[in-house]
């Protein structure tokens, strides 16, 4: 298990201010076998920065010609990944790659197929955005109720899993509905999920946070829909 190759999937959209720093942080951890940057139609100079990375130090760049949404970018990255373990990393510096060893440990020990990095299990975090936290907890409660589980953070961006988990799994998400769709399908397939505490440094809307209220309603519909269909 220690020799398993780790693919980092990084969806990117208008992250010129943070892209160089997050790639540097991922590389400094020294665990990534490959880093796949999927640009989702950025228009803020991000694409010029991506040209610096493409083909260097195990980095691959994939471009969407127009903006399709985070879920679409993640799906593109997953389809291109060649590693044994896949890890989704946002490009906005909210999640810290120094948590990778903790996230990978349950899979490496053979006790989990999927690992969620939970923002609500006691790890260090910036104190901000109360109502955003409430929405996250409500969606997680709904997930637990519908799928008979005990997750603490369904909406976390840190999801790590063995390649076999998504082989044959139909994924259709285009926006932020990736989190509930993936969670619903993992739970229905009875994969072993572990949660570990992570650090979290959320940005607010003045700093470019993209998720909106409508995405919460879309998440509710996604959880309900995939409870009964695949």
- Written in H, E and C, the secondary structure of the chain is CCCCCEEEEEEECCCCCCHHHHHHHHHHHCCCCEEEEEEECCCCCHHHHHHHHCCCCCEEEEEECCCCCHHHHHHHHHHHCCCCEEEECCCCCCECHHHHHHHHHHHHCCCCCEEEEECCCCCCECCCCHHHHHHHHHHHHHHHHHHCCCCCCCCCCCEEEEHHHCCCCCCCCCCCCHHHHHHHHHHHCCCCEEEEECCECCCCHHHCCCCCHHHHHHHHHHHHHHHHCC
Q: Provide, rounded to the nearest whole percent, the portion of the chain with pLDDT above 90.
A: 80
| Rounded Cα distance, 220 and 207, in Å | 26
Q: What pLDDT, in 10s, does the model give residues 123-182?
A: 878 777 787 888 889 999 999 999 999 999 999 999 999 999 999 999 999 988 999 999
pLDDT at position 1 over 60 = no
The mean of the pLDDT values for the chain is 92
Residue 2 has a pLDDT of 61
Q: Tell me the domains of the chain and their CATH numbers.
A: 6-228 (3.90.550.10)
Residue 55 has a pLDDT of 76
Residue 11 has a pLDDT of 97
Residue 131 has a pLDDT of 79
| Rounded Cα distance, 62 and 50, in Å | 9
Q: What pLDDT, in 10s, does the model give residues 167-212?
A: 999 999 998 899 999 999 999 999 999 999 999 988 665 555 556 6
pLDDT at position 87 over 70 = yes
């Amino acid at each position: 298990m220690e020799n398993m190759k780790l693919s980092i999937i990084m969806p990117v959209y208008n992250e010129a201010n943070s892209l160089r720093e997050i790639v540097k942080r991922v590389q400094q951890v020294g665990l990534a076998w490959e880093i796949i940057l999927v640009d989702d139609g950025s228009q803020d100079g991000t694409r010029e920065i991506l040209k610096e990375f493409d083909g260097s130090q195990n980095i691959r760049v994939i471009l969407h010609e127009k903006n399709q949404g985070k879920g679409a970018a993640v799906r593109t990255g997953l389809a291109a990944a060649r590693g044994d373990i896949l890890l989704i990393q946002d490009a906005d510096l909210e999640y810290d790659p120094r948590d990778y060893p903790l996230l990978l440990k349950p899979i490496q020990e053979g006790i989990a197929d999927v690992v969620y990095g939970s923002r609500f299990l006691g790890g260090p975090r910036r104190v901000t955005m109360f109502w955003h936290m409430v929405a996250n907890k409500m969606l997680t409660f709904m997930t637990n109720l519908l799928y008979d589980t005990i997750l603490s953070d369904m909406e976390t961006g840190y999801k790590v899993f063995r390649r076999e988990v998504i082989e044959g799994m139909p994924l259709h998400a285009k926006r932020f509905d990736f989190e509930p769709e993936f969670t619903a399908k993992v739970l229905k397939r009875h994969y072993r999920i572990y949660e570990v505490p992570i650090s979290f440094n959320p940005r607010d809307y003045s700093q470019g946070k993209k998720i909106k209220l409508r995405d919460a309603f879309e998440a509710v519909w996604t959880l309900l829909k995939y409870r009964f269909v695949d």
